[in-house]
Amino acid sequence: MPPTSLTNSLATFSVAGAVRIGTAVQRGNGASVDLGPMSYPLTRMRRNRTDDAIRRLVRETTLTVDDLIYPMFVIEGPSLREPVESMPGIERLSVDQLVEDAKHCVDLGIPAVAVFPNVDDGLRTPAGEEAVNPAGLIPRAVTAVKNACPALVVITDAALDPYTSHGHDGILDERDYVVNDPTVETLVEQALVCTRAGADVIAPSDMMDGRVGAIRSALEDEGFVNTKIMAYSAKYASAFYGPFRDAVGSAATLGRGDKMTYQMDPANRAEALREIELDLEEGADMVMVKPGMPYLDIVALVKETFAAPTFVYQVSGEYAMLKAAVGNGWLDDRVVLEALVGMKRAGADGILTYFAREIAPALKR
């Protein structure tokens, strides 16, 4: 558009006394066509990108350490740090080492950790009874971390997969179908065991129906009125969980099996809203979408629909992909912050990420 017509249109506006920002073009018949506020060169989008200070002023999304939850893996034994091969930089830690790393998280300002077990193979059974052992690895780990770091939020899973001999999140019937209601009974007991050990947040990651309500009422009955439930509500049957299953040892037990009869079909979107709504109605304090990067449309939809505290899990496979590419020099390590900011921009209030400790020093406290 030539500058003269712009000048004319601005003059037209000021004569009319209208207070507005915008441009209009004069048609031959005298009619004015409003082009809205975006026309070049009155508007040059690049003006607000010229330097760091102005970019900071107009930035819409900020990632801080307050947004981070660090997932950790615990194993039996003293003084052990065992690398997880498919997750460079992540280790399985014995309880004493877990406490050291938890303290490091506190020093970095990370508000929360999620603790997952890799129990001895001998403890894995068809019904996963070890999940409800009050002297089990997770209850001991939780108590130790809470004693050392009382202000750190400790999250534990409600799910049976690290404890079953078949690697599924629940109990199987004679046709190898994961049965819902008997599984929920065990999950309730598992949640109580973890809460008694000191867990601040129970995170049902099993996708059984009705488990949030059952856990909530059991917590209320025992007087744990402030124990929070972070529900893995929209959890998809994803192949991006592979490295996690290596870490907890369920890759071997699950074999080539999948979790399609309880986790969500990756093709579904409306169903996620129903899952989230049910979990909120049943007493979830926070909801989660998982995995992260391939499911950010779901994160945005959930946040916009329910305005509830919404979390996203940047899962083990996403971590492995980025780590591998950066490690090989194929991608610059700036991809990590970009991926995480994208999750916040989509609407996540917080992110479970294996990058938490690595990136915390670069983020605002």
Known catalytic residues are 235, 290
- Of residues 237 through 266, those in contact with ligand PBG by CB under 6 A are 241, 244-245, 259
**For residue 291, is the peptide bond before it cis, meaning its omega torsion is within 30 degrees of 0?**
yes
Quote the CA–CA distance of 113 and 68 in Å, as a whole number: 9
Per-residue string for binding with ligand PBG, 151-180, x by CB under 6 A?
A: ------x-x-x-------x-----------
Cβ of residue 262: shortest distance to ligand PBG, in angstroms?
Answer: 9
270, two tokens: 């409306």
Cβ of residue 223: shortest distance to ligand PBG, in angstroms?
Answer: 27
Let me know the angle formed at the C-alpha of 289 by 129 and 252, rounded to the nearest 5 degrees. 40
Per-residue string for binding with ligand PBG, 277-316, x by CB under 6 A?
A: --------------------------------------xx
Cβ of residue 253: shortest distance to ligand PBG, in angstroms?
Answer: 11
Question: Which residue lies nearer to ligand PBG by CB, 13 or 70?
Answer: 70
| 207 touches 272 (CB < 8 A) | no
Question: Which residue lies nearer to ligand PBG by CB, 23 or 290?
Answer: 290
Angle between helices 316-327 and 334-346 (to 10 degrees): 150
Q: In what helix (H) or strand (E) does residue 311 lie, and over which residues does it extend?
A: strand 310-314
Q: What is the DSSP string of 259-279?
A: -TTTSBPTT-SHHHHHHHHHH
Cβ of residue 238: shortest distance to ligand PBG, in angstroms?
Answer: 8
Question: Which residue lies nearer to ligand PBG by CB, 13 or 116?
Answer: 116
Question: Which residue lies nearer to ligand PBG by CB, 91 or 157?
Answer: 157
Q: Alpha helix locations (H) across the chain?
A: 3-16, 52-58, 95-108, 137-148, 180-197, 211-221, 242-248, 250-254, 270-281, 296-306, 316-327, 334-346, 356-359
- Of residues 313 through 352, those in contact with ligand PBG by CB under 6 A are 315-316
Question: Which residue lies nearer to ligand PBG by CB, 24 or 351?
Answer: 351
Cβ of residue 35: shortest distance to ligand PBG, in angstroms?
Answer: 48
Tell me how many helices (H) and strands (E) the chain has.
13, 14
Question: Which residue lies nearer to ligand PBG by CB, 9 or 190?
Answer: 190
Cβ of residue 236: shortest distance to ligand PBG, in angstroms?
Answer: 9
66, two tokens: 């307050």
What is the rounded radius of gyration, in angstroms, for the C-alpha atoms of the chain?
25
Question: Which residue lies nearer to ligand PBG by CB, 24 or 155?
Answer: 155
Let me know the angle formed at the C-alpha of 114 by 109 and 120, rounded to the nearest 5 degrees. 135
Task: Assess 205 for contact with ligand PBG (CB under 6 A).
Answer: yes
Task: Count residues near ligand PBG (CB under 6 A).
Answer: 12
Quote the CA–CA distance of 319 and 354 in Å, as a whole number: 7
Closest C-alpha to 262, from 161, 338, 332 = 161
Helix, strand, coil percent content, the chain, rounded in steps of 5: 45, 20, 35
Cβ of residue 130: shortest distance to ligand PBG, in angstroms?
Answer: 15
Which residues lie near ligand PBG (CB under 6 A)? 157, 159, 161, 169, 205-206, 241, 244-245, 259, 315-316
